[in-house]
């Protein structure tokens, strides 16, 4: 994709394919307006190349290569002399370079959202001089043309894929430059230090102020602390971006399916008083306190009695092995049984929330025994939707470490960003160590320069073809 000619005019459908009220065909490049001139007729007869930027115009997309007799209904709307087949009634928007998404001329055609009109409009655009855009090519052009940096380009995908309001907020903050501004500030501080060091190394005899080693140490320590702080919330940011995998586990008939339904606030799993109703894993994605949670209801089978139950048990074990968190459910209306203790032993190495269900019934469970195994017990009635909020808060607290919100405005959640920041932090630490060991300025300058390179790669000031291809191939074609 990187090697595509950036002087080409590109086009794509920028809305999901399917039936909808509106669909958008986007065109970007130096020929965008001339292509629009060929296929669009406005109500007042003016051509798109004469339109002012940021204006929208009502009219028709026509096929200039197909001559037909104009229907009378068209004449009533103001097209007096057209001989061409009308494809669709549209609204056309013009955004002129450089103040557009790609910093190129952009034309967006708002058609009716059916598959056929969108496809036919796109085909006309391609026939008249554009080529089909590659995945993410509009955003890639915005990056290569300098409108956004690489972290902001990646934020576009974060916004598109956001599963919760918190994830959306993080994406919007990153797109607005929140992370970029912080990284650029750190980059400039490192660059200032490197400039002073290299001046002293290259021109030792000139009248240049010598390096104040104490001040240099203090500045490096400050930069190191800021990099460390950015990484503190990186794991939380990753979870808010990707979500956590939660598995509901327990012996048969403890209320696993009812608990799933209560968390979903809808009936997703079949619930009956018959033990073993659930014979396969059931997965759903939910939003808990801003955290995307992929929650799985497993079959409550301890010892399989047939082939189906054996396969169900295998799937349950696989889900538990992959889980970030296991909700271990106990039936409060029954005493603890050997199946409960077997599950406790098998799950000792997992992150567990111990939950007592069916508190609406007479309680027989020995809580004091469970408290020897777990620091905290959550008591709910999934059937009556009682204390489900406490379970949700417990899940969120495990992610936020007891704090359901953070005052830190910058959340680093992208693995590429995390690795680049870790690398920069490592080399800043090495520069401090070189300074403490009284090594020459060349060693200190090398480490600072390498840390600076890491930040430049993060921002996209330095990039490879492979990196850009990897990032933008994840985008949809029209973005």
Whole-number pLDDT of residue 303:
57
Predicted confidence (pLDDT) at residue 468 exceeds the cutoff of 90: no
Helix pair 150-161, 178-202: axis angle to 10 deg: 160
- What Rg value do the Cα atoms of the chain yield, rounded? 30
Band the pLDDT of 51: cuts 50, 70, 90.
very high
Is the pLDDT higher at 70 or at 213? 213
pLDDT at 359 over 90: yes
Residue 276 has pLDDT above 50, yes or no: no
Q: Which of 245, 46, 224, 23 has its CA nearest to residue 116?
A: 23
Q: 281 and 315 in contact (C-beta within 8 Å)? A: yes
Question: Would you state the pLDDT for residue 274?
Answer: 42
108-138 confidence digits (pLDDT tens)? 999 998 899 999 999 999 999 999 999 999 9
Domains of the chain: 10-148 (3.30.1360.120), 155-233+412-460 (1.20.120.430), 243-400 (3.40.50.300)
pLDDT (0 to 100) of residue 134: 92
pLDDT-derived band of residue 388, with 50, 70 and 90 as boundaries? very high
- Residue 275 predicted with pLDDT over 50: no
Residue with tokens 């790609």: 102
| Whole-angstrom distance, CA of residue 353 vs CA of residue 391 | 9
Task: Note the pLDDT tens digit of each residue in 81-107.
Answer: 556 788 999 999 999 999 999 999 999
Mean pLDDT along residues 451-458:
95
Judged against a pLDDT cut of 80, whether residue 68 lies above it is answered with no
| pLDDT tens figures, 284-307 | 888 888 888 889 888 755 555 556
- Tell which wins on pLDDT, 262 or 410: 262
The reported pLDDT for the residue numbered 447 is 95
The 3-class secondary structure across the chain, one letter per residue, is CCCCCCCCCEEEECCCCCCCCEEEEEEECCCHHHHHHHHEEECCCCCHHHCCCCEEEEEEEEEEEEECCCCHHHHHCCCCCCCEEEEEEEEEEEECCCCCCCCCCEEEEEEECCHHHHHHHHHHHHHCCCEECCCCHHHHHHHHCCCCCHHHHHHHHHHHHCCCHHHHHHHHHHHCCHHHHHHHHHHHHHHHHHHHHHHHHHCCCCCCCCCCHHHHHHHHHHHHHHHHHHHHCHHHHHHHHHCEEEEEECCCCCCHHHHHHHHHCCCCCCCCCCCCCCCCCEEEEEEECCEEEEEEECCCCCCCCCHHHHHHHHHHHHHHHHCCEEEEEEECCCCCCHHHHHHHHHCCCCCEEEEEECCCCCCCCCHHHHHCCCCCEEECECCCCECHHHHHHHHHHHHHCCCCCCCCCCCCCCHHHHHHHHHHHHHHHHHHHHHHCCCCHHHHHHHHHHHHHHHHHHHCCCCCHHHHHHHHCCCCCCC
pLDDT at 312: 66
The rounded percent of the chain whose pLDDT value lies above 90 is 53
């Amino acid at each position: 994709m990187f090697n595509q000619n950036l002087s080409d005019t590109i086009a794509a459908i920028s809305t999901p394919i399917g039936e909808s009220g509106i669909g958008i065909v986007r065109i970007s490049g130096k020929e965008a307006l001339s292509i629009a001139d060929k296929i669009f007729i406005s109500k007042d007869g003016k051509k798109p190349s004469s339109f002012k930027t940021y204006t929208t115009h009502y009219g028709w997309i026509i096929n200039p290569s197909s001559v037909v007799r104009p229907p009378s209904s068209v004449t009533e709307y103001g097209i007096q002399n057209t001989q061409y087949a009308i494809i669709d009634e549209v609204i056309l928007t013009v955004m002129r370079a450089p103040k557009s998404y790609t910093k190129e001329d952009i034309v967006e055609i708002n058609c009716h959202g059916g598959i056929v009109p969108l496809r036919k409009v796109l085909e006309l655009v391609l026939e008249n001089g554009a080529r089909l855009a590659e995945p993410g090519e509009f955003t890639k052009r915005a990056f290569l043309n300098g409108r956004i940096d690489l972290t902001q380009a990646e934020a576009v995908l974060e916004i598109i894929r956001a599963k919760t309001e918190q994830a959306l907020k993080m994406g919007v903050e990153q797109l607005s430059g929140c992370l970029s501004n912080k990284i650029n500030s750190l980059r400039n501080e490192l660059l200032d230090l490197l400039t002073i060091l290299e001046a002293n190394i290259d021109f030792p005899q000139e009248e240049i102020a010598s390096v104040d080693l104490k001040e240099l140490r203090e500045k490096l320590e400050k930069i190191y602390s800021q990099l460390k702080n950015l990484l503190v919330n990186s794991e939380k940011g990753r979870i808010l971006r990707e979500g956590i995998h939660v598995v509901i586990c327990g012996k048969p008939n403890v209320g696993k399916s009812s608990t799933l339904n209560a968390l979903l606030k809808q009936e997703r799993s079949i619930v009956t008083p018959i033990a073993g109703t659930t014979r396969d894993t059931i997965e759903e994605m939910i939003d808990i306190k801003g955290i995307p949670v992929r929650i799985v209801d497993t079959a409550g089978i301890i010892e399989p009695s047939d082939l189906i139950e054996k396969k169900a048990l295998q799937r349950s074990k696989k889900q538990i092995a992959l889980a970030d968190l296991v909700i271990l459910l106990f039936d409060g209306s029954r005493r603890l049984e050997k199946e409960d203790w077997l599950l406790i032993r098998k799950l000792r190495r997992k992150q567990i929330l111990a939950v007592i269900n069916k508190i609406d019934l007479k309680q027989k469970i020995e809580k004091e025994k469970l408290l020897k195994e777990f620091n905290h017990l959550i008591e709910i009635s999934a059937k009556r939707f009682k204390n489900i909020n406490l379970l949700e808060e417990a899940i969120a607290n495990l992610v936020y470490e007891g704090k359901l919100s953070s005052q830190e405005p910058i959340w680093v959640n992208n693995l590429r960003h995390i690795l680049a920041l870790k690398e920069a932090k490592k080399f800043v630490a090495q520069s401090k160590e070189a300074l403490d060991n009284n090594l020459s300025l060349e060693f200190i300058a090398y480490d600072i320069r390498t840390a600076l390179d890491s930040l430049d790669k993060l921002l996209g000031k330095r990039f490879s073809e492979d990196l850009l291809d990897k990032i933008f191939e994840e985008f949809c074609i029209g973005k």
